[in-house]
Amino acid sequence: MKLKTPIGIVTALVLGTFATVPGASAQEITLRAADSFPNGHYIGANLIQVFMEAVSEKTGGKVAFEYFPAQQLGKSADMLSLTQSGVTDIGYVGPSYVSDKMPLSSVGELPEAFNSSCEGTKGYWEIAKPGGVLDQAEFAPNGIRLLMAMVLTPYNLVTADREITGLDSIKGLKIRSTGGAKELAVLKIGGVPVQMPAPEVREALSRGTIDGGLFPNPSIMPYGMEPFLKYGTQGINFGSFVATYVISTERWNTLSPETQEIMTSAGKAATMSGCEVADGLDRSDKKTLIEGGVVYADLPEADAAEISGILGTVSSEWAANLDAQGKNGTEVLKAFRAALANPVN
């Protein structure tokens, strides 16, 4: 697997989308994979990198990869179109970044009944994998096929200067969200949602453009946000984030049945192992952040109950809004809840 520099990107694009590696007779195809995560980020490291290594090994080197991390091929919001058009073969798609095209796929971001990454991930996998209700509703119509996914650990509210002591202390705060369900959640608790991708949050915090954001603990340090954060909540699920890696249906159909089977198996394995890593990091990174000075606090019982009650209305409103657009939000929400209640092994 190769990490491409910007110059290498231009060369790769000129040579063609599906070029093989000259002189490497053992390699039959080379696939490009791209995401927006910085090198070492736990999502990329435990999903796409694990996947690429497994596929290369199981195919005996006949499938090779060129990997473009850190927005080298485009920003988060560009990844769906880059995958659909064949600029990259495998792309990271965060559904909330493309909510105009994949609004139903943010169902995993709702503050539902899951308390860990693996609980949320297994539920999401069941409805989004090929043949699932979410695949039929959005992935397939967008010409893409799910390879792997991760629903992050439930989000906390973290802030630069404002200590969150109750519901009133949240009102008016400019809070980074990723659109979709979390934007609705921020509005309901009195905050001002500011939609932006994770790579832009550090600078926004440093400039005071935002007061804080909704994040899981493992996503704070990879983006260097910790120097600008002082406070965090705990014990309340503000929702989550769905990260997926997809391949275009057109590109998938060019692969041999044997390669497809290997990639399907490797994708599911990376999905199931990746969420376990995320859950472990949530615990260890929180400890590190506390040692670095971030103060996590339990809200007063009455405020915590009130916020949880408010957040509890997000899912039904999300579904109703999509139903009104003819998008079957209630059907997808019911399917996700059923999958959460009956997790895969």
Identify the pLDDT of residue 227. 97
Identify the pLDDT of residue 1. 55
According to DSSP H, which parts of 47-192 are helical? 48-58, 79-85, 117-128, 133-134, 180-188
Q: Please tell me the distance from the alpha carbon of residue 58 to that of residue 312, in angstroms, as a whole number.
A: 44
Confidence tier at 181 by pLDDT (50, 70, 90): confident
- Cβ atoms within 10 Å, residue 15: 11
Identify the pLDDT of residue 3. 47
Q: Decide if 126 contacts 344 (C-beta within 8 A).
A: yes
Identify the pLDDT of residue 180. 75
Q: What integer best gives the mean pLDDT of the chain?
A: 91
Q: Decide if 113 contacts 80 (C-beta within 8 A).
A: no
Identify the pLDDT of residue 6. 36
Q: Decide if 59 contacts 93 (C-beta within 8 A).
A: no
Mean pLDDT of 141-161: 97
Identify the pLDDT of residue 24. 33
Q: Which two tokens stand for residue 292?
A: 């670095």
> By percentage, how much of the chain surpasses pLDDT 70?
92
* CA-to-CA separations, 50 to 1, 70, 258, 277, in angstroms, rounded: 11, 17, 19, 12
Q: Decide if 288 contacts 221 (C-beta within 8 A).
A: yes
Strand segments (E) across 74-121: 90-93
Q: Please tell me the distance from the alpha carbon of residue 7 to that of residue 34, in angstroms, as a whole number.
A: 15
The pLDDT tens digits of the residues spanning 244-303 come to: 999 999 999 999 999 999 999 999 999 999 999 999 999 999 999 999 999 999 999 999
Identify the pLDDT of residue 89. 98
Mean pLDDT of 201-222: 95
Q: Please tell me the distance from the alpha carbon of residue 323 to that of residue 319, in angstroms, as a whole number.
A: 6
Is pLDDT at 215 greater than 60 in this prediction?
A: yes
- Domain range annotation of the chain: 2-152+243-280, 156-240+282-335
Is pLDDT at 18 greater than 90 in this prediction?
A: no
Query: How do 29-34 and 192-195 pair as beta strands?
Result: unpaired
- Top-tier CATH class for 156-240+282-335: alpha beta
Identify the pLDDT of residue 182. 84
Contacts (Cβ under 8 Å, ≥6 apart) of 324: none
Q: Decide if 97 contacts 309 (C-beta within 8 A).
A: no
Is pLDDT at 5 greater than 80 in this prediction?
A: no
Q: Please tell me the distance from the alpha carbon of residue 329 to that of residue 322, in angstroms, as a whole number.
A: 5
Q: Please tell me the distance from the alpha carbon of residue 329 to that of residue 319, in angstroms, as a whole number.
A: 4
The pLDDT tens digits of the residues spanning 55-114 come to: 999 999 999 999 999 999 999 999 999 999 999 999 999 998 899 999 999 999 999 989
Q: Please tell me the distance from the alpha carbon of residue 320 to that of residue 328, in angstroms, as a whole number.
A: 9
CATH architecture group of domain 2-152+243-280: 3-Layer(aba) Sandwich (3.40)
Q: Decide if 181 contacts 110 (C-beta within 8 A).
A: yes
Q: 333, 110, 63: which is closest to 238 by C-alpha? A: 110
Identify the pLDDT of residue 27. 58
Identify the pLDDT of residue 345. 67
Q: Which two tokens stand for residue 113?
A: 């009944």
Under DSSP, the state recorded for 97 is G
Model's pTM, two decimal places? Answer: 0.85
Do domains 2-152+243-280 and 156-240+282-335 share one topology? The answer is yes
Identify the pLDDT of residue 229. 98
According to DSSP H, which parts of 200-297 are helical? 201-207, 249-252, 257-291
Q: Please tell me the distance from the alpha carbon of residue 33 to that of residue 294, in angstroms, as a whole number.
A: 35
Report, in angstroms and rounded to the nearest whole number, the Rg of the chain calculated over CA atoms.
20
The pLDDT tens digits of the residues spanning 26-52 come to: 459 999 999 999 888 999 999 999 999
Question: Reduced to 3 DSSP states, what percent helix, strand and coil does the chain have, rounded to the nearest 5?
Answer: 50, 15, 35
3-state SS assignment for residue 152: coil
Q: Please tell me the distance from the alpha carbon of residue 135 to that of residue 303, in angstroms, as a whole number.
A: 38
Confidence tier at 235 by pLDDT (50, 70, 90): confident
Q: Decide if 189 contacts 181 (C-beta within 8 A).
A: no
Confidence tier at 198 by pLDDT (50, 70, 90): confident
104, amino acid identity? L
